[in-house]
Every structure is written in C-alpha cells, then in structure tokens.
Amino acid sequence: MISRRKSLREVYVWELPVRIFHWANALSIVVLCVTGYLIGNPPAIQHATPPEANYWFGWVRFIHFVAAFVFILNFLVRLYWAFAGNSFARWNNYLPLTRRQWRGICDTTRVDVLLLSPNPVYDIGHNSLAAFTYFGVFLLFLVQTFTGMAMFCVSTNNVMEPFFSWLLQMWGGFFVVRQIHHIAMWAFILFSIAHIYLVFYHDYIERNGVASSIIGGWKFVREDLAEAYETEQQQQQQIHRQKEEITHETKRK
C-alpha cells in the first residue's frame, strides 16, 4: 500500500478549452488512423470485388476528410490557447527554455525511461519531458497536416491546388508524400500507446488524479507544490502590475 506523507490540495490545472482539445484530438486521431489505414489498404482491392459493390469506401474517404478538418481546426484553436490560456497551457511549457526544465527532463528520464530511481518527479502540470515530447507531437501535427492537405488538394481540383502541387513536387512527388503521411500515422499510434500507458502509470505512482484531471480539470497536488505555485503566481502578477504602472507613468510623461 502506498501511504501519503504529505497532505494534498486540489488545483485547477486543465481549463475547459484544453480538455475539449484533448478529447476532440483523441477522437479525430482514432478516426483518421482507422480510415487512413483502410484508404491505404482498400479491402475492395485486396478481395478483387467490383467497385460498384463498395460505395462505402467513398464514405470512408469522406469521414477521413471531415476528421482531418476537425483535426486542423482543433489544432489552430490549441495554438491560440497556448497564448491565451493559464500558466499550464502556455507555449513556454513545451520548450525547455530554463535550467529547471532541463533538470526536469533529466530527472524524469531517469525515473520513467531508464528506471534508475524509484522516486517519481512531481509536477503540477506536464512534467518537462512530457511537455517537450508534446512539442515534438505538435511538429508531427504539422507534417501530417501539410502532407494530407497536399494529397487532398491535388486530387480534388481544390483552389489551393497550385500551391500544394508545387509543394508536392518539392517533396519528391505524390508517392513520397503518401509514404511520409503513412509513417506519421504509425508514429501517432505508437505515441498514443505510450501516452496512455504513462498516464495510468503516473496516476498510480503519484496518486494525483492525472487520469481524471483531463475530464474535470482538477489535480490533487502536494501542499508544498501548491504553495510554491501560488507564491510564483503572486510574484508574476506583482511584476506584471509593476510593468503596467511603469508603462502608464511613461505615457503620462
């Protein structure tokens, strides 16, 4: 049995837009992977059935395209919220810009990847390693979006066909782009498996409600971490007020 040595406090971590993004993203990725696999390996071709008997394949493509546009719009909203959201949703969480973030990446790697320490690394939001990994996933979003849009636009006489035709040629042609898109799909699948495993792993060893937090938004955080977070937020607000006062005084002069 794992005992608690420190009292816990509820902290509101994941705002509603972040939670909506997470679940809309998860659903769209599942739909895209299933339909994308069928498009890449059509059962009608495998079983040599006549095309008129497989009109459902058109629906598979349609669902894939709809899910793709949901995926893209959802990603754009998340980019906006990376600047408008709370401190846990901000863009600077996903880039290791400080010494503390690099130390967090090293410590979490020792615990989660190399299994060199039994002591978990406690963070209120994403730990630094997870956040940096998500940045890599965001780049994968861009690769999947541009390769998918390139294939979509050149095959549908889209208004953006000239731009994506040029992009397609620059990347080596339709077949190369299709292969990149297909490999990226498997990268998403592997990431999803690791992501789900680590969520429940950390939920078990940290006992902080990380799995349920993406539904309700609240995590159970150690009292000392919550107090340190509140102190840091108060200091940042004070600095922000001082900057506003200096700006206001400068304008008056």
The answer to whether position 192 is within a domain reads yes
Q: What is the CATH number of the domain that holds 214?
A: 1.20.950.20
Q: What is the pTM of this model?
A: 0.80
The number of domains in the chain is: 1
The answer to whether position 235 is within a domain reads no
How far apart (Å, rounded) are the C-alpha atoms in residues 121 and 105? 10
The answer to whether position 8 is within a domain reads no
Write out the residue range of the structural domain in which residue 75 sits. Answer: 14-221
**Residue spans of beta strands (DSSP E) within the chain:** 8-12, 218-222
The answer to whether position 7 is within a domain reads no
The number of angstroms, rounded, from the C-alpha of 131 to the middle of its chain's C-alpha atoms is: 9
pLDDT tens digits in sequence order for the chain, 253 residues long? 444 556 778 888 999 999 999 999 999 999 999 999 998 887 755 555 565 565 777 888 899 999 999 999 999 999 999 999 888 999 988 998 888 888 888 888 888 777 777 777 778 888 888 899 999 999 999 999 989 888 888 777 777 777 777 777 777 788 888 999 999 999 999 999 999 988 888 888 777 788 899 999 998 887 777 777 777 766 666 766 666 666 666 666 6
Say what the pLDDT of residue 122 is.
77
The answer to whether position 161 is within a domain reads yes
The answer to whether position 4 is within a domain reads no
The answer to whether position 251 is within a domain reads no
Say what the pLDDT of residue 192 is.
93
| Burial category of 168 from C-beta neighbours within 10 Å (exposed 0-12, middle 13-18, buried 19 and up) | buried
Render 72-91 in DSSP notation, one character per residue: HHHHHHHHHHHHHS-TTTSG
The answer to whether position 252 is within a domain reads no
Say what the pLDDT of residue 239 is.
66
157 Rama sector, left if φ>0, alpha if ψ -120 to 50, beta otherwise: left
Say what the pLDDT of residue 1 is.
40
